[in-house]
């Protein structure tokens, strides 16, 4: 397929390129696009050396599938133009996720939805929703989920390289004086990405504040979960937390169903689910998830207060399955249509 990556110089765009190569995606021609400041740079790929084009000047004619990871504003501006020229756009931003005419798809959970795309656009869910739904989706097929209480522990790479750089800078600034960290005598290292220091710290606030004191990250968990599972009645209670981890989002979730589900039934369903690895004897961590395709699920336990539900822990690489890998998997679904 004649393929384009839009936002090719960003962390997710670069990961998209490496995954296309690793999965031997059927590329007949590859085009890489980014902002004007990156235009003209050349990138070595398995399909040869490719010069990055200025997105604003690029002609989308002939492109069959375009993987977008250029931010919401650029997606809103350019994705309809690419789709209008005949490309299927797989968009990683939040721009189109809640549009009724745009399918929101987690590969391996609701694949069939990708085929119904009247606007020529398929949306990638938020990275936290993506990891959570890899576990919730298979269980929802076993017994319908009626409620989810989800607390996410989101790595700083969810904020891009600026988040990673802020964590590393603040860690270096705070490390020389561990006594101050214990006594409260630490000096603020200065924060530009987050409202409070992230170095040696945990921020109970990921995203930007929206309605009712909840953040946009938290509302994404609510609304995207309902859309992906085609279950608007599901009750979702979200809390999104930023943690001093470079890569890998974790989610602690409590699920309640329309009938009791025990641990053995849940483990059996998850072990058969594509893209999921069950770590029931060793708790999975973000370090375990970094750089791998599978979403890891562990600490699967029956609920205590109201028996019949499940508590579990989910962790996934937010740059891979949480973004780039899922986008490529959606492109593979398009390619398989023939």
Residue 170 and residue 188: Cα distance in Å, rounded?
A: 9
Catalytic residues: 127, 249
What SS3 class is residue 164?
A: helix
Strand order in the sheet with 2-6: 53-54, 29-34, 2-6, 65-68, 88-91, 121-123
The widest CA-to-CA distance across the chain, in whole angstroms, is 64
Phi and psi (nearest 5°) for 279?
A: -115, 80
How many residues appear in the chain?
A: 338
- Contact of 238 with 214, CB cutoff 8 Å: yes
Angle, helix 11-22 to helix 325-336, in steps of 10 degrees: 50
Sign of the torsion formed by the C-alpha atoms of 79, 80, 85 and 89: positive
H/E run at residue 182 = helix 178-183
Q: Is the dihedral of CA 168, 172, 177, 178 positive or negative?
A: positive
């Amino acid at each position: 397929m004649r393929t384009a990556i839009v936002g090719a110089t960003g962390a997710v765009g670069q990961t998209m390129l490496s995954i296309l190569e690793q999965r031997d995606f059927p590329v007949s021609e590859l085009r890489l696009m980014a902002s004007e400041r990156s235009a003209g740079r050349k990138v070595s790929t398995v399909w040869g050396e490719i010069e990055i084009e200025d997105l604003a000047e690029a002609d989308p004619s002939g492109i069959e599938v375009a993987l977008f990871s250029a931010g919401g504003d650029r997606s809103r501006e350019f994705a309809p133009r690419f789709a209008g020229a005949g490309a299927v756009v797989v968009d990683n931003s939040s721009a189109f996720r809640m549009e009724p005419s745009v399918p929101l798809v987690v590969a391996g959970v609701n694949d069939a939805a990708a085929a119904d795309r009247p606007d020529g656009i398929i949306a990638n869910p938020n990275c936290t929703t993506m990891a959570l739904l890899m576990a919730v989706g298979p269980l929802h097929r076993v017994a319908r989920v009626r409620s989810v209480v989800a607390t996410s522990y989101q790595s700083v790479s969810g904020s891009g390289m600026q988040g990673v750089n802020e964590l590393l800078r603040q860690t270096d600034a705070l490390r020389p004086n561990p006594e101050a960290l214990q006594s409260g005598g630490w000096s603020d290292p200065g924060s530009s990405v987050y409202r409070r220091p992230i170095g040696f710290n945990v921020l109970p606030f990921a995203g930007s504040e929206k309605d009712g004191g909840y953040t946009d990250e938290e509302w994404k968990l609510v609304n995207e979960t309902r859309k992906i599972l085609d279950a608007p009645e599901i009750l979702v209670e979200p809390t999104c937390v930023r943690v001093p981890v470079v890569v890998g989002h974790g989610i602690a979730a409590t699920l309640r169903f329309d009938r009791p589900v025990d641990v053995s039934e849940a483990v059996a369903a998850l072990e058969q689910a594509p893209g999921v690895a069950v770590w029931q004897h060793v708790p999975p961590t973000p370090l375990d998830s970094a750089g791998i395709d599978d979403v890891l699920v562990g600490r699967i336990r029956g609920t205590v207060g109201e028996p019949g539900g499940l508590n579990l822990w989910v962790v996934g690489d937010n740059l891979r399955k949480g973004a780039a890998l899922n986008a490529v998997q959606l492109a593979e679904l398009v390619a398989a249509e023939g």
